[in-house]
Amino acid sequence: MAKARKILTAFLLTLGVACSTKYNEVKPDTVIEVFVNDEATGRAISGARVLLYDDSAAFHQTISSAAEPSGFVSSYTTDNTGAATIEKLKTNTNYFVYAYYKDTTVITGTYITLDNSARQYALKNTLADGSQTVVTISLRPSDGFIVLWTGSANSAALPIDVFVNNISAGSVTKGNSLPSLFQTGSVSQRMRAGKAIIEGKSSSGCYWTNQVTVNAGSIRYFGLTDCSVGTIAFYTDFVNTSDLPIQLTLNANDAIGTISAVVSATPTDCSAVHLATALRETGNYTYQAVSASGNCVWSGSFMLTAGECNLIYLTKCN
């Protein structure tokens, strides 16, 4: 009996060790619950993209540009209730939230960005460990389009390179009546709502500049007005064969080409072969022609009128 009692005691001690449990405290995750809606209608937006930033410069670069966002640390998409849950957040970090949605119902055939760039959302305080923060973000239209174009009467000035805020936007290559968005020959540019400096530059010497305002969710048309141009054409004949090629410059710094061959007969229009031609805006010009050796120099001035073909003969070099 004494032996049995010892065995039972040993079994109970073993059982006590096996059933001992150590409890560790498990803290809840630090979370931001984001709800996204349309400011105009108040409806929840499903499929909106929610981006989390921990860098102020990257956040402000995103909200000031119509380009695709970059520099974020994580990305989420709202569900059918307009909600997105941002998890595993740090407690000692300042966070910024950018939400946007590409709405295809505003302008047919493209989208308008709805976002919170007009109401920047930065969390006022760092997050407490294990906290659950609820954020409601309302989106409104933030971008629009500018369409750059010109009429058929301006065909002599084509192509026209166009710039928006000093950045190349493409070239107007065709004269149109008022074009539709993305129509061939015109240039359509998406941009943030606000003021923009528009420039147009043509190899004919025509130049356009203006400041325009693009409204969110709309299309702004900017027509490049008619630029009156004429054609200047330089040529020479056999008397200067030994002086070829001859470099040509207008107004001291506008290099327009080279005469590399002589004509066999006096040309009657600017489409003849072996001419050095250029389209330029009407006005008064000076010119200089320099032979390959540099020993021969021709210079002079002329007035160019709209639609004119101004033929200038370079006489025998003395």
Confidence bin at 318 (pLDDT 50/70/90): confident
The range of the structural domain enclosing residue 113 comes to: 31-141
Instruction: Mark whether 37 and 111 lie in a shared domain.
Output: yes
Residue 1's SS3 state is coil
Tokens 């520099």 locate to 71
Residue 234's SS3 state is strand
| Residue at 18 is within a domain | no
Alpha helix (H) residue ranges in the chain: 2-18, 56-63
Tokens 């981006």 locate to 51
Asked if residue 18 has pLDDT above 80, the reply is: no
Chain-centroid distance of CA 95 in Å reads 27
Asked if residue 92 has pLDDT above 70, the reply is: yes
Asked if residue 13 has pLDDT above 50, the reply is: no
Please give the Cα distance from 66 to 188 (Å, whole number). 14
Q: How many domains does the chain have?
A: 3
Instruction: Mark whether 180 and 152 lie in a shared domain.
Output: yes
Chain-centroid distance of CA 258 in Å reads 36
pTM score > 0.95 for this model? no
Q: Percentage of residues in the chain with pLDDT exceeding 70?
A: 92
Given this model, what pLDDT does residue 26 score?
Answer: 63
Per-residue model confidence as pLDDT tens digits over 211-245: 999 999 999 999 999 888 899 999 999 999 999 99
Segment 78-91 shows an average pLDDT of: 94
Given this model, what pLDDT does residue 248 score?
Answer: 97
The residues with which 77 forms a beta bridge, in sequence order, are 49
| Residue at 204 is within a domain | yes
| Residue at 58 is within a domain | yes
> Are the C-beta atoms of residues 164 and 205 closer than 8 Å to each other?
no
Given this model, what pLDDT does residue 12 score?
Answer: 43
CATH code of the domain containing 245:
2.60.40
